[in-house]
Amino acid sequence: MTLIAFHDGIENASLDTWRYHLTKSDPQISVIALSDSKANDAEIALVWNPPNGRLAELKNLKLICSLGQGVDHLWKDQKRPQSVPIIRLVDPHMSHALSQWVLAVLLDFLRDGPFYRENRLKREFNKLPQANTIAMKVAIYGIGAIGSVVAQNLQSLQFDVSGWAQTPKTERPFKQKIGKHGFESLIHSNFIHICLLPLTKNTKGLFSQDVFNEMPKGSYFINAGRGEQVDERALLQAVRSGHLSGAALDVFCEEPLPVSHPFWNEPKISIWPHIAAQTDPATTFEQIARAIYAVKSGLAPKNLVDPNRQY
Ligand code: GLV
């Protein structure tokens, strides 16, 4: 018998679907809400944004599984049991979905989607000259499981892609820049900037006013990492002043984005409600089942998070 305590941060709307897949993969598994007092006996927590202090009450806990690719939601809980290993989801379907989102917002910007939608409203048949995007320079910040897919898809559309990582990665089929100097050189020399980084103490506030100022005039910024990586006020200022052509954002410092947030008034900022890559139980339950099996057999599960690196 394996008891899983479940919390998806949205009123457990996906609990039944997870239960269906996990119990089908192993009838010994039982899934209950983290809020249920019976969850105190759970060995596994499958969670997104669990209430502060709740995981510490699970005295048999052997594994924490993040219900997403990011794990920053877990660092907010100061009482989280430090010795319990954490895994995150790594799902080619999610990488594919995220890559599609990046392509959608980037191509919409480059092919003047906002202008033609406005035209449509006014019943006008006006044209803009199309941009030459062959060999256009694109920087991707974060070249792990997701960034690598995005980079290769953009490369196949003939963009000139460079990826950035804080520390050297294994060989990738695109250019790589590493560390502080690599970051600075990409910021100066690219026209499209795509942030796909995990939120850690090193990436918090990375896209500051200075960084936006250093981007070439007319640059476009895309963020599907985390809102806290961006100085939102500086981004707004950079767009309003015309220094940046605009931005497409799927993540924000505060979510849901408050109705009074000034981003809503800026037409050059495209706003998405954190949907670029959504967790799909059907494509991810197997890795959770395998991780549970590994932990219960005394083996290390895949996709373990390093709490020091914070991802
Ligand atoms: C989404 O933001 C995720 O971390 O999966």
- Contact criterion met (CB below 8 Å) for 87 and 301: yes
Question: Tokens standing for 141?
Answer: 């910040």
Q: Is residue 186 part of a domain?
A: yes
Q: How many domains does the chain have?
A: 2
Q: Mean per-residue pLDDT for 207-219?
A: 98
Regarding whether 248 and 283 lie in a shared domain, the answer is no
Q: Is residue 310 part of a domain?
A: no
Q: Is residue 8 part of a domain?
A: yes
**Could you list the residue range(s) of the whole structural domain that residue 187 is in?**
92-271
- Contact criterion met (CB below 8 Å) for 276 and 224: yes
Ligand 1 touching residue 69 (CB < 6 A): yes
Selection from 293, 294, 291, 273 nearest residue 64 by Cα = 291
Give the side-chain half-sphere CA count within 13 A for 299.
9
Regarding whether 43 and 153 lie in a shared domain, the answer is no
Residue 230: band (very low, low, confident or very high) from pLDDT cuts 50, 70, 90: very high
Question: Tokens standing for 222?
Answer: 């895309």
- Contact criterion met (CB below 8 Å) for 143 and 175: no
Regarding whether 217 and 97 lie in a shared domain, the answer is yes
Query: Which CATH number covers residue 105?
Result: 3.40.50.720
Residue 302: band (very low, low, confident or very high) from pLDDT cuts 50, 70, 90: very high
Q: Is residue 30 part of a domain?
A: yes
Regarding whether 243 and 99 lie in a shared domain, the answer is yes
Ligand 1 touching residue 70 (CB < 6 A): yes
Regarding whether 255 and 141 lie in a shared domain, the answer is yes
Q: Mean per-residue pLDDT for 77-106?
A: 97
pLDDT in tens, 25-78: 999 999 999 999 999 999 999 999 999 999 999 999 999 999 999 999 999 999
Regarding whether 190 and 73 lie in a shared domain, the answer is no
Residue 257: band (very low, low, confident or very high) from pLDDT cuts 50, 70, 90: very high
Q: Which atom of ligand 1 is found nearest the CA of 226?
A: 2
Ligand 1 touching residue 68 (CB < 6 A): yes
- Which pLDDT belongs to residue 211? 98
**What is the pTM for the complete model shown?**
0.96
Regarding whether 55 and 150 lie in a shared domain, the answer is no
- Which pLDDT belongs to residue 229? 98
Regarding whether 35 and 98 lie in a shared domain, the answer is no
Regarding whether 104 and 21 lie in a shared domain, the answer is no
Q: Mean per-residue pLDDT for 256-280?
A: 98
Q: Is residue 235 part of a domain?
A: yes
Q: Is residue 303 part of a domain?
A: no
Regarding whether 177 and 231 lie in a shared domain, the answer is yes
- Residue 41's contacts (CB-CB under 8 Å, 6 or more residues apart) are 3, 58, 59, 60
Q: Is residue 306 part of a domain?
A: no
Regarding whether 292 and 266 lie in a shared domain, the answer is no
Regarding whether 46 and 25 lie in a shared domain, the answer is yes
Residue with tokens 């981003």: 263
The residue whose CA has the least distance to atom 4 of ligand 1 is 70
Q: Mean per-residue pLDDT for 241-250?
A: 98
Ligand 1, residues 74, 272, 279, 283: which to mutate, most atoms within 8 A of Cβ? Answer: 279
Q: Which atom of ligand 1 is found nearest the CA of 70?
A: 4
- Contact criterion met (CB below 8 Å) for 172 and 145: no
- Residue 147's contacts (CB-CB under 8 Å, 6 or more residues apart) are 140, 141, 163, 196
Q: Is residue 11 part of a domain?
A: yes
Ligand 1 touching residue 2 (CB < 6 A): no
Strand, helix or coil at 245? strand
